[in-house]
Amino acid sequence: MIKTVIKAPKVLCIYRNINLDSTYDLLSQINEAVFIKNNFVTLDLRGVETITAAASVLLFATVNTCQLASNNSNQIRCIFPTEKQNPIGHQFIVKTGLARALHSGSIEKLDDLVISKIYFQSETNPSKHVVQTVNFLAGKAIFSDNQFQMLTSGIGEAMLNVSHHAYRDPLCDSQIHPKKIRLVEDIGERWWQCAWFDDSSNKWVFIICDLGLGIPFTYTQTNGLELLDAMREAFSLGKSRFQGQGRGNGSEDIKSAVGLLCKEKESLLVYSGGVKYCYNTTMKDPELERLPRFFHGTLIEWTLNLG
């Protein structure tokens, strides 16, 4: 049994391009050690001083995929910052529940995250998990009936998009794409998420991440658009790759959530297929950017304010 020790950088973040290389290098090292070299990995996180929300979910997805695909929760073990030696890192990793999520390398332990109402969770069943997620958020804040319905529609659509689109061959929707067959066989059509309500600022954040084909790829295959145009159209009103086939509202419910709870300080951020999509209540049109480094999949992050 070969063991590999991988040390994380001080900052893990995909929001700023300055941190992209070191963050994605870490994820690549983990995947290479497990999937190519079949090594056991010790991930040393003791020196991490900052890990932002999106990077936390990506790290959870990467580590958990390695554990599930190898059918061994010990394939990756982590060393976490202590409160005494690294209080800031301890706050980001241990107190948020990320540490527990990183050691939840079995279906049973993932189920325990839901039962324990940990911020970080993973599932493959949208119809079951949307109710659990919305009820978790509603238990932390007071929503009107309209707001509750909006939450259910938006979060539900994000989860359904994983099972309807993320891993599927866009030219033959009944089949998993050849590039993703092995992954889906090992872990299912899975997503990873983080959801929390901050009562000090009266806002809630929901992040969902999959390791599928990416929105631009699936959309370009059926519509013949360039990557940026594909991403822009995918989040336009009434647009769906399966419009008219009883497959829901595409990404309309995801984007429509921004600005409905409160007219200020609400945003939608999407990373998918090498494209970054930003939209907030101050913008007339979204901003899109091609990224120099990216992961294979989709990450969606809402920040919504109850006012």
Taking CA atoms, 278 is separated from 202, 251, 269, 303, in Å, by 22, 14, 5, 12
Q: What is the pLDDT of residue 245?
A: 41
Q: What is the pLDDT of residue 252?
A: 58
153: pLDDT strictly greater than 50: yes
Which is more confident, 191 or 261?
Answer: 191
Residue 29, pLDDT score: 98
pLDDT of res. 260: 59
Is residue 306 over pLDDT 90? no
Burial degree of 257 (CB within 10 A; 0-12, 13-18, 19+): buried
Q: Where are the domains of the chain?
A: 3-115, 124-305
Q: Which residue has the higher pLDDT, 263 or 24?
A: 24
pLDDT of 213-246, one tens digit each? 999 888 887 777 888 998 988 887 555 444 434 3
User: How many other CB atoms are there within 10 angstroms of residue 252's CB atom?
Assistant: 19
pLDDT, tens only, 241-258: 444 343 334 465 676 667
Predicted confidence (pLDDT) per residue in 42-88, tens digit = 999 999 999 999 999 999 999 999 999 999 999 999 999 999 999 99
| Terminal CA-CA length for the chain | 54
Determine how β-strand 267-272 pairs with β-strand 172-176.
unpaired
Q: Which fold has domain 124-305?
A: Heat Shock Protein 90 (3.30.565)
Res. 17: pLDDT tops 80? yes
